Amino acid sequence: MPVTIADVARQAGVSKTTVSRVLNTRGEVDAGTAARVREVIAALGYVPSSGAVGLARGSSRTVAMLTPPLTWPWMGEVLQGVVDTVEAAGYGLLLFTCNRGRESVEHFAGQVSARAFDGLLVVEPEGTLDTITAMHRKGLPVVLIDDRGHHPEFPSVATTNREGGASAARHLLADGRSRPLIVTGRPDFGCVRERLEGFLDVLPTDRVVGGDFTEVSGRLATERFLATGRAFDSVFAHNDLSAVGVLRALRAAGRSVPDDIAVVGFDDIPMAQHTEPPLTTVRQPMRRMGERAAGMLLAHLAGTPAPVEPVVLPTELIARASAPA
């Protein structure tokens, strides 16, 4: 059986609260008692949990993260950045995913009511922003990752979506491509509007077709546009998954990439390096976004005021064979 804080308290002849105060180096415990508690901890080999360490300060030393399903292709990078930062600070992480819609949200809300964690990181599951905002207004510290243009009233970390779209257009224009097709993402996402506006600022076109960020939508959108007979020499897809669909549709139609048509995606998910040909894309710094958001939340919990304005990290165009430099 693992040694518990109760075992330490019993052996040292003190309360669990006293043990917790020693663990937290609080000054309320006299030196002799503190020394005795530390001797017992060493003798028993007790390893304090985050809950025990936080008992005296009214803190669980645990943060939570609420996300859409982890099947989102860049979710792993965000999560790794969060984990690296949280663990380095000696905090635990509770992960909640909205795989079951409203049921998942209700379960999560119960954990908030139970004060199971000190603060929350969010990659917004669809339809949850109002619920999260209400929790924040009641005192829950929140940092949003990838705000999708919603600009919430609590701190957020985002990327330069508009500039990312513009960089894709500049790259294609420099290669002599003047008749681009754009395959957009979901129109209710602010990042989609920003990527589209940034691209059109540099390289105007009326060849714009709707998608939903999936491989299937990229393939079908390209097939439909090919069927119109209108000429195009390049494609800007609003994420890498839809760009994969674009590549498949072009290959099936006998179009060579990049000789006939250049293709640029957005995100730089791991798959982008392994498509045929490898995909030129606009890289979002997803791991850095996770690190920065977690750092902001931990600093806020330690007493540093959260930034009022969104923190915006730069995108970067990564040139590969689908649209070489």
Q: Which residues pair with 264 in a beta bridge?
A: 236, 280
CA angle 259, 325, 74 (to 5 degrees): 95
Q: Which residues pair with 181 in a beta bridge?
A: 235
Write out the E strands in 91-237. Answer: 92-97, 119-122, 142-145, 156-159, 180-183, 208-209, 234-237
Q: Output the pLDDT for position 79.
A: 95
Tell me the longest C-alpha to C-alpha distance in the chain. Answer: 86
Q: Output the pLDDT for position 168.
A: 98
Q: Output the pLDDT for position 217.
A: 97
Q: Output the pLDDT for position 250.
A: 98
Q: Output the pLDDT for position 25.
A: 56
pLDDT tens, the chain, 325 aa long: 667 888 888 999 998 888 877 776 555 678 788 888 888 877 777 765 544 444 444 567 899 999 988 888 889 999 999 999 999 999 999 998 887 766 777 777 776 765 678 999 999 887 788 888 888 888 889 999 987 666 678 899 999 999 999 999 999 999 999 999 999 998 888 899 999 999 999 999 999 999 999 999 999 999 999 999 999 999 999 999 999 999 999 999 999 999 999 999 999 999 999 999 999 999 999 999 999 999 999 999 988 888 888 899 999 999 999 999 8
- Contacts of 29 by beta carbon, 8 Å cutoff, 6+ apart: 18, 21, 22, 37
Please report which helix (H) or strand (E) contains residue 312, including its range: strand 311-313
